[in-house]
Amino acid sequence: MTVTLLRATDRTATRWKNGGGITREIAAAPPGAGMDDFAWRVSLAEVKDDGPFSAFPGVTRTLTVAEGAGMELTVDGVRRTVGERFRPQDFAGDARTHGRLLDGPVVNFNVMYRPGLTEALTAVVRGRLTVSIPPGGTVLVVALDGTAVIEGAGAELGPHDAALLTGESPGVLRADGRTAVVTFSPAPDGAPCP
């Protein structure tokens, strides 16, 4: 297993695609991909005001509230309360989506992927577990609160630090706080995961 550490202190803030807020990209594939050509992209977004979400046609989004009281989302006219921290919520990136803050600013953990290129499964865990990397795939581990350790790899993660795992050997994660584990698998047509 190969582990690449991605420290929170190394990320720069950029404007959302629609200019309405700030995001910090954790990782994307292929490396160097922009907003219009990524296979997958993971970021932490600061939401300080109510407003529309950026549109991402052909993309599936998974939003997890990492900090704050949460939001009420209106997705293509259907309201959904996202008020529980660390509970991933899926919706279409091209859906007309508006967010209303429930009680002050939030930080959202965002996973976006193009189903024709890759599949993604997001889980938020705590404790000790084996992390298996699918053949041709990648696993991204992000400490959302507290710390996490990839045992045997010398990877210690502080809040918002991440580790990108590739290769064939499974690893053991010890998550002292809530930690996101995002597994990217090859697309159903068998193409390798970028």
Query: In total, how many domains does the chain have?
Result: 2
pLDDT in tens, 83-102: 999 999 999 999 999 999 99
**What pLDDT is recorded for position 64?**
97
Range of the domain at 55: 12-113
- pLDDT 10s digits, 45-77: 999 999 999 999 999 999 999 999 999 999 999
Q: Which residues contact 3 (CB under 8 A, 6 or more apart)?
A: 150, 153, 154, 155, 163, 164, 165, 171
Please identify, among 113, 147, 177, the residue that sits at the C-terminal boundary of a domain.
113
CB 105 within 8 A of CB 25: no
Q: Is the pTM of this model over 0.85?
A: yes
Is position 2 within any domain? no
* Whether residues 96 and 163 fall in one domain: no
Residues 68 and 92 reside in one and the same domain: yes
For tokens 């992927």, name the residue.
Answer: 113
Q: What is the CATH number of the domain that holds 131?
A: 2.60.120.10
pLDDT mean across residues, the chain: 92
Structure tokens at 73: 């989302």
Q: 194 in a domain, yes or no?
A: no
Tell me the pLDDT tens digit for each residue of 9-47: 999 999 888 877 899 999 999 988 888 899 999 999 999
